[in-house]
Amino acid sequence: MTTTERSTPAREPVPDHEQKRVALGYLQEAWAEARHDGVDGDCLAQACLFAAFAEFVTTYGEDAAAKFADGLGTRIRNGEFSLDLPRQ
Domain ranges of the chain: 40-81
Which pLDDT score is estimated for 60?
Answer: 98
Q: Find out whether 31 and 51 touch, Cβ atoms under 8 Å.
A: no
pLDDT tens digits, one per residue of 10-44: 778 889 999 999 999 999 999 999 999 999 999 99
Q: What is the pTM of this model?
A: 0.71
Say how many C-beta atoms besides its own lie within 10 A of residue 53's C-beta. Answer: 15
Label residue 65 by pLDDT band (50, 70, 90): very high
Once rounded to an integer, what is the mean pLDDT over residues 53-77?
A: 97
